[in-house]
Each structure stands twice: as C-alpha cells, then as structure tokens.
Amino acid sequence: MRHKHGYRKLGRTSSHRKALLKNMAIALIMNEKIETTVAKAKTLRSYIEKLITKAKAGDFNAHREVYAYLQDKAATKKLVEELAPRYNERNGGYTRIVRTRIRRGDAAPMAFIELV
C-alpha cells in the first residue's frame, strides 16, 4: 500500500521514470498541450511547475538549473525566455489537467495537460 508515499512510480525504474518526465516536460514546453494518462499528467504537473518557478528568475542561473533537468537547449530557451515571463504575477498553478476519454486498448483514463 502506498499510504502517504511521496510520489508515483508509474510502473518504471527510477531512471526510466526520470527520462519519461524529462521527455514529457520537453514536449509540453514545445507544444504547450499534450495528451497522456491521468497519473502521468499529475506527476508531470509537479515536475513542470517546479521548473517554471525556477525559470521565472530569468537570469543565467535559471538557464543552468532548467537545463540540468531538461538537457534540451531549445526547450530551456523557450521556457526561460518566452513561457516563464507570462507567469511573473502568478504564484503557482501554471498548468491545467482536463480529463478527456478512456483509452480503448487498456481502459486507461486519459487527460490533456496544458500550460494556462
């Protein structure tokens, strides 16, 4: 049982989970809206919101911190220079999760996660 456990494992090893979140974060930054399962969307929400909060500083160190997580120059540049300044007056709540459908193959609940 996972009573009060800190995070979702998503059925993956720690390195696979880290890679999954990194790739989903890059996709969300570049497209500003992606469709995934509800569990992955909820996990990605905390990951991306922490990145946006770091990027809001907008200085060189913000670039370094965000790049350390994403390892993608284009996504880092877009996040720090275009997306993060949108949220300067906002204290969190940068993403929205909208449940969409039940996936046909495995009946997994699907959702859109998008930047507000």
- The residue extents of the domains of the chain are 14-115
Residues 6+ apart with CB under 8 A from 79: 29, 51, 52, 55, 66, 70
DSSP 116: -
Cα distances (angstroms) measured from residue 99 to each of 12, 15, 16, 38, 73: 23, 27, 25, 7, 31
What is the tens place of the pLDDT at every residue in 34-61?
A: 999 999 999 999 999 999 999 999 999 9
What is the tens place of the pLDDT at every residue in 46-105?
A: 999 999 999 999 999 999 999 999 999 999 999 999 999 999 999 999 999 999 999 999
CB 63 within 8 A of CB 76: yes
Q: Which fold has domain 14-115?
A: 50s Ribosomal Protein L17; Chain: A, (3.90.1030)
CB 3 within 8 A of CB 90: no
Structure tokens at 66: 């965000």
